[in-house]
Amino acid sequence: MLTENQLRRVVALRRALHDCPERSGQERRTMAAIQAFLSQNTALAVRDMGGWLLATHWEGDDLPAVGFRADMDALPACNEIGARHGCGHDGHSAMLCGLGLLLEGRRVGKNVHLIFQAAEETGEGAKRVIDTWRALSTLDAIYALHNIPGHPKGTLLMRRGCFACASCGHIVHMTGRPAHAAYPGDGANPIGPLCRLTLEIPEMIADILAGSDRLLMRTLIGLNAGGEDFGISAHEGRLCQTLRGHRQRDIDALIQRTEACARASCRETGMKCDFEIRDAFPDTTNDDALFDAAMNRFQAANLPVRLLGEPMRWSEDFGWLLRETPGVYFGIGAGEDCPGLHTEGYAFDDDLIETGVRAFGALLGL
């Protein structure tokens, strides 16, 4: 457990990070503040990995290795600096720095890597870690957490299997032929095929799930075609949708069916179509054995734990890291009355820091 002095320093760091929010991929001042804190307060070996930080507690060759990851980017905002910490990543980074303080002078029988990751909000930061740090795949385990409003403050939120959904933005673009509005049959108008496709997708979802209680959903984001020139039949249109589900393979199956249906419609009408995937996040699914071990560690440390009945619908790019090495992602309740993440009223509660550090420490037996 942190001393009062250590906790004050970590809280001060969190507030300093809050005051220098930076958007995804632009976390230069944030990284500098974290690096300075760790260099001044710990003996961790801190390295700039080209857009993210790695701080290592090394005890020797041939020992098990574990990783702990915190995100550090802020949200876009309409203010003078164009960013704000409306998701609590400032708090997550502070908690991980608190673990660095907790490790100081200790031996845990493992090499411990603290990963301060950029660009979680865009889904690109974890990919950068994978691309630039080969040792990631050799870790025995990796852990991360997120504060979650709507649950009792300080309660650890656990779920076996899928903790957070996979999701992506999917765009279907159809291009036909323009025609005079008096002779629409001379052209190829995408509005009808796009509307039919939009209405058929719920049936595709039902067929993929085949009665399962897994989540697979489509949120219609935009359906746009044509314009306001009443003399010309529409010849171009786009369907934009967010796909979300418990399993990535369900989303992949839905994308495959949607695109096959779009291609068939285009062949029949002489149109062309192309597709785009944006903001892709895989499912964040916990390793069963590590989940059981984490539950035992938390209970031994007398930390309050609540089991979630279903996965979070939001997505997390930690799922990319879990494809490389087994791990556990968990939540920490931010309070039943805490405003939701990404909302105007949200602010990270410093009372969560001590519990977050204790949870990380418990996973190491501290």
pLDDT at 8: 98
Diameter of the chain measured on Cα atoms:
82
pLDDT at 245: 98
Q: pLDDT digit string (tens) for 207-251?
A: 999 999 999 999 999 999 999 999 999 999 999 999 999 999 999
What does the domain layout of the chain look like in residue ranges? 4-164+283-363, 166-281
pLDDT at 325: 98
Read off the pLDDT band of 152 (50, 70, 90): very high
- Using DSSP, state whether 351 is helix, strand or coil: coil
- Using DSSP, state whether 151 is helix, strand or coil: coil
**Topology alike, domains 4-164+283-363 and 166-281:** no
Q: Output the average pLDDT for the chain.
A: 97
Q: pLDDT digit string (tens) for 88-137?
A: 999 999 999 999 999 999 999 999 999 999 999 999 999 999 999 999 99
Q: pLDDT digit string (tens) for 251-286?
A: 999 999 999 999 999 999 999 999 999 999 999 999
Q: pLDDT digit string (tens) for 153-178?
A: 999 999 999 999 999 999 999 999 99
Asked if CATH classification 3.30.70.360 holds for the domain at 166-281, the reply, yes or no, is yes
pLDDT at 135: 97
pLDDT at 303: 98
pLDDT at 165: 98
pLDDT at 140: 98
Read off the pLDDT band of 299 (50, 70, 90): very high
**CATH class of the domain whose range is 4-164+283-363:** alpha beta
Could you tell me where the beta strands, DSSP code E, fall in the chain? Answer: 45-48, 53-57, 65-71, 75-76, 83-84, 111-117, 141-148, 156-158, 162-164, 166-175, 179-180, 216-225, 232-233, 236-245, 272-281, 284-285, 305-307, 327-333
How many DSSP H helices and E strands does the chain contain? Answer: 9, 18
